[in-house]
């Protein structure tokens, strides 16, 4: 491995979150009955005419600007011709010689915290094909709901040098498309798809080796595994003096290996030519400015701001900003805090990183589906800070806040959970507990000091967990000393 260096370039398809298809008004909604979302245009009937969805244009320009690309003022569409049962037109509308975005770059953060610049060759618009369904006995059926769904293809320069870098690059792409709210970023469901091009060369040499293209990975982790196995395969071939053949490889996730699928088509096999049915796309500078103004702060910038503005540890800031809706939730909760002390802010952050995320995992819901109101979380934190309730009570009532119209204050009052800080009442409870445990008291006095915890536990129990724990501790220490 040390003798060789991998060279990797990725082609990522991202399905755009437009409501209608790229060139017709059919819905892009997932899960409809097969062939329900179709019309003469996306079925490729003669005489029907495609019209560009303006949101597709807007979304791809957002992506181009967020990845430092140049945006062409004028670009055209092209037909990519091939035959496949799920492609009724016999061609896909794509872009070829004039992709709308080109010559950009992305800075990705590697595991050790260093930044690496990865070139973006191009980003172009295209439409998806339909889907062949093979699990109906001997027959193959075709569902064309997906035909014409808008995609963008992001092609990187061959700038990555390890599967770790490829993983970091994909993570960055996902973060950008989800922050821009142009794609849901879900690789398992196919909203993000990645073809990985890889070659190896002797370390220290300039010239690239022959590449292969690996397909069929449904997670970032599998892209990484596929690359590792393909790199090893290519090194094996070279070591044995055999040639690497230009071909498409399929990744078998169960076996963890890549195997050849077909020899690779070249561009000329597709007979690209300019799409005669769609006008060239023009992007006036005013339009570009308008799209630029709409681009939100992206993940890394937001994480760094969380560290300076909210004094959060970098780790916490990274977790909170990994997904935009969670970062939005956090900022809204902080905004609603009455007392914006560092402690309260850290407490909001702890709740999100702890209970909120645990419940999201348990229920397989995102933060919006959890139906927790940010101001309810702030109020809960406020109640702990001003000692109205203990941490323990807060943890107990937290799940009740999900989907609840009642504020934490209302729940606490309704259930009589206000923390007992009344010295007289607490002292009485402590005296009671000690009086009821003569055996433990004797042992304690004989030197078994870890029984201290036992008395605390009993006193908390006697007050149904409502006692202020610090006060209970102090009172028990005081009482035991007097015994
Ligand atoms: P093709 O003609 O096979 O489509 P391209 O030159 O268009 O190849 O590149 C497709 C992808 O492959 C790009 O992401 C590019 O960075 C990557 N790539 C090109 N050459 C190599 C190579 N020798 N090794 C690894 N990746 C490469
Ligand atoms: Zn249609
Ligand atoms: Mg190519």
Report the DSSP beta bridge partners of residue 14: 152, 192
Q: Based on the structure, what is the number of domains in the chain? A: 3
**258 and 377 belong to one structural domain:** no
Per-residue pLDDT at 264? 67
Structural domain range at position 157 = 4-290
| Tokens found for residue 13 | 């398809």
Per-residue pLDDT at 130? 96
* Residue after which a domain boundary falls, among 414, 443, 465: 414
Residue 159 CA: nearest ligand 1 atom is 16
* Ligand having the closest approach to the CA of 89: 2
CA of 139 to the centre of ligand 2 (A): 25
Q: Which of 10, 12, 106, 158 to mutate to test the pocket of ligand 1 (most atoms within 8 A of CB)?
A: 158
**222 and 357 belong to one structural domain:** no
Q: What is the DSSP letter of 112?
A: T
Residue 158 CA: nearest ligand 1 atom is 16
Residue 208 CA: nearest ligand 1 atom is 23
* Ligand having the closest approach to the CA of 145: 2
**13 and 136 belong to one structural domain:** yes
**236 and 375 belong to one structural domain:** no
Per-residue pLDDT at 459? 86
* Ligand having the closest approach to the CA of 36: 2
Residue 37 CA: distances (Å) to CA of 46, 132, 220? 18, 16, 30
CA of 147 to the centre of ligand 2 (A): 8
The arithmetic mean of pLDDT across residues 388-400, rounded, is 88
- 196 closest CA partner among 236, 171, 231: 231
Measured distance between the N- and C-terminal CA atoms of the chain, rounded to whole angstroms: 72
Comparison of pLDDT for 458 and 53, the residue scoring more:
53
* Residue after which a domain boundary falls, among 290, 319, 334: 290
Pocket of ligand 1 (CB under 6 A): 7-11, 155-158, 197-199, 208, 211
| Tokens found for residue 270 | 């597709």
CA of 161 to the centre of ligand 1 (A): 14
Per-residue pLDDT at 402? 93
The confidence band for 471, taking pLDDT boundaries of 50, 70 and 90, is confident
- 248 closest CA partner among 192, 300, 196: 196
**330 and 350 belong to one structural domain:** yes
* Ligand having the closest approach to the CA of 144: 2
**353 and 461 belong to one structural domain:** no
**175 and 229 belong to one structural domain:** yes
Q: Is the pLDDT of residue 252 over 70?
A: yes
Q: How far apart are CA 72 and CA 281, in angstroms?
A: 9
CA of 267 to the centre of ligand 3 (A): 7
Per-residue pLDDT at 134? 87
Q: Which residues neighbour ligand 2 (ion) by CB within 5 Å?
A: 24, 26, 39, 41-42
Task: Report the chain's mean pLDDT, rounded to a whole number.
Answer: 93
**245 and 318 belong to one structural domain:** no
> CA neighbours within 13 Å on the CB side: how many for 218?
6
């Amino acid at each position: 491995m040390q003798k060789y260096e991998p060279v990797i370039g990725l082609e990522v398809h991202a399905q755009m979150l437009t409501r209608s298809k790229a060139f017709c008004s059919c819905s892009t909604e997932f899960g409809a009955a097969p062939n329900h979302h179709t019309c003469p245009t996306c079925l490729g009937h003669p005489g029907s005419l495609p019209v560009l969805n303006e949101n597709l244009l807007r979304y791809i320009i957002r992506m181009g600007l967020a990845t430092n690309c140049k945006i062409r003022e004028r670009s055209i569409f092209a037909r990519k011709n091939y035959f496949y049962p799920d492609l009724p037109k016999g061609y896909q509308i794509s872009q070829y010689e004039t992709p709308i975005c080109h010559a950009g770059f992305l800075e990705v953060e590697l595991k050790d915290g260093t930044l690496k610049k990865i070139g973006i060759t191009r980003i172009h618009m295209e439409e998806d094909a339909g889907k062949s369904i093979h699990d109906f006995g001997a027959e193959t059926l075709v569902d064309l709901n997906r035909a014409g769904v808008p995609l963008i293809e992001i092609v990187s320069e061959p700038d990555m040098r390890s599967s770790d870098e490829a993983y970091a690059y994909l993570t960055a792409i996902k973060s950008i498309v989800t922050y821009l709210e142009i794609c849901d970023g879900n690789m398992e469901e196919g909203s993000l798809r990645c073809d990985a091009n890889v070659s190896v060369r002797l370390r220290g040499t300039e010239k690239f080796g022959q590449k292969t293209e690996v397909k069929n990975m449904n997670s970032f982790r599998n892209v990484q595994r596929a690359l590792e196995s393909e790199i090893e395969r290519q090194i094996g071939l070279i070591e044995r003096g055999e040639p690497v053949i230009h071909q498409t490889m399929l990744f078998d996730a169960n076996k963890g290996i890549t195997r050849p699928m077909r020899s690779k088509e070249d561009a000329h096999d597709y007979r690209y030519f300019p799409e005669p049915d769609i006008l060239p796309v023009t992007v006036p500078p005013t339009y570009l400015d308008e799209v630029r103004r709409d681009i939100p702060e992206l993940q890394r910038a937001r994480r760094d701001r969380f560290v300076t503005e909210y004094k959060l540890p970098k780790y916490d800031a990274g977790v909170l900003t990994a997904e935009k809706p969670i970062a939005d939730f956090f900022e809204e909760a902080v905004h609603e805090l009455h007392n914006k002390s560092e402690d309260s802010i850290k407490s909001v952050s702890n709740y999100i990183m702890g209970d909120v995320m645990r419940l999201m995992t348990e229920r397989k819901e995102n933060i919006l589906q959890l139906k927790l109101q940010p101001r309810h979380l702030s109020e809960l934190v406020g109640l702990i800070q001003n000692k109205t309730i203990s941490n323990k009570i807060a943890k107990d009532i937290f799940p009740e806040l999900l989907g609840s119209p009642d504020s934490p204050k209302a729940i606490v009052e309704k259930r009589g959970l206000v923390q007992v800080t009344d010295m007289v009442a607490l002292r009485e409870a402590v005296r009671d507990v000690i009086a009821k445990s003569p055996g433990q008291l004797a042992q304690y006095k004989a030197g078994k000091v870890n029984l201290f915890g036992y008395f605390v536990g009993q006193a908390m129990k006697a007050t149904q967990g409502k006692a202020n724990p610090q006060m209970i501790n102090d009172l028990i220490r005081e009482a035991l000393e007097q015994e």
